[in-house]
């Protein structure tokens, strides 16, 4: 049976070339459009939706991508999105929380441009096509395929600046692996709440905690000028006392504040009851997010606000 796969190119290193000095830049002619796809019973439809480096990607690009998939995705058996790696995990997470058609959606990219030695773009692209056309990819949410591994959008993160094995899932490991002839899944991501947004807007900064942190930059924040804050707290979810005091004041003014740990592994939870400890913060309205890094926590809060969640409903979603 023929698999009809839609490919949406958005730019990034996978679509770039390096010059004689080794400087990598965008190319008007996407090299992925010239890849010979030698996969039996695959019918590929390709669209260059964007052509931007991933640091240029915003939530508006993510929303436009969602609208495109919502409009035509049901006409296909699977979708592959090529994307720059710097913000790939954020686009993947955003899409994973949207009300998408029930088909495999796979995002991939490259750490080396198309004409660099050891370029990984073509291989990742072909691997993504294989996963998008595989029946066991259904029902597993948005998938990230890189370097022979399949990861869940919710948990995957970029862990190395240049290594081709940069995308990892620290706590859980990959959902599956890609072999020469088979695709194996070991686990399935948990169900997620999905939204059908008709807009996306808002300002939510991310602030990282550090030893000796005072009110500093926090004192410049005004609840009337922003829509929320994400704080990367210390350890299990603790803050220096002056920083905690300022954030608690903002929370009491009605500003949604979401907390994650700055640690690479583990989950933030209210354990310590001293001033600035997690118990103190949670008691005063700061919301603890489970198993998300700060960039995804920001999107979770942004999506929730745009979906109209507030009060107890907002807290239950953020902390769920």
Active site residues: 13
Q: Which of 99, 116, 171, 126 is nearest to 35 (CA)?
A: 126
HEC per residue, 156-202: CEECCCCCCCCEECCCCCCCEEECCCCEEECCCCCCCCCECCCCCCC
Distance CA 110, CA 310 (A): 39
Distance CA 103, CA 74 (A): 7
Judge contact between 69 and 91, C-beta under 8 A.
no
- The CA angle 183-115-38, to the nearest 5 degrees, is 35
Q: Which residue has the tokens 């400087």?
A: 23
Surface-to-core class of residue 136, CB atoms within 10 Å of its CB (0-12 exposed, 13-18 middle, 19+ buried) = middle
């Amino acid at each position: 049976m023929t698999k009809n796969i839609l490919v949406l190119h958005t730019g990034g290193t996978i679509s770039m070339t390096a010059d004689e000095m080794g400087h990598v830049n965008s190319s008007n002619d996407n090299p992925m459009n010239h890849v010979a796809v030698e996969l039996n019973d695959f019918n590929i439809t390709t669209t260059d939706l964007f052509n931007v480096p991933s640091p240029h990607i915003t939530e508006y690009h993510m929303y436009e991508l969602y609208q495109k998939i919502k409009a035509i995705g049901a006409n296909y058996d699977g979708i592959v999105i090529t994307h720059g790696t710097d913000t790939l995990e954020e686009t993947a997470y955003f899409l994973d929380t949207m009300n998408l058609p029930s088909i495999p959606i796979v995002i991939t990219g490259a750490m080396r441009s198309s004409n660099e030695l050891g370029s990984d773009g073509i291989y990742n692209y072909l691997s993504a096509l294989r996963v998008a056309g595989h029946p066991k990819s259904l029902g597993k949410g948005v998938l990230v395929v890189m370097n022979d591994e399949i990861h869940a959008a919710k948990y995957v993160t970029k862990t190395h600046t240049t290594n081709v094995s940069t995308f990892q899932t620290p706590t859980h490991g990959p959902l599956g692996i890609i072999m020469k002839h088979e695709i194996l899944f070991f686990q399935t991501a948990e169900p997620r709440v999905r939204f059908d947004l008709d807009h996306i807007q808002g300002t939510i900064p991310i602030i990282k905690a550090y030893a000796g942190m005072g009110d500093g930059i926090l004192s410049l924040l005004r609840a009337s000028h922003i829509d929320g804050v994400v704080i990367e707290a210390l350890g299990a979810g603790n803050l220096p006392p002056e920083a905690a005091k300022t954030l608690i004041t903002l929370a009491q003014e009605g500003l949604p504040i979401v907390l994650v740990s700055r640690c690479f592994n583990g989950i933030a939870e209210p354990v310590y009851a001293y001033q600035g400890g997690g118990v103190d913060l949670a008691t005063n309205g700061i919301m603890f997010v489970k198993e998300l890094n700060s960039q995804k926590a920001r999107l979770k809060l942004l999506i929730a606000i745009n979906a109209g969640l507030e009060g107890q409903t907002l807290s239950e979603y953020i902390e769920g």
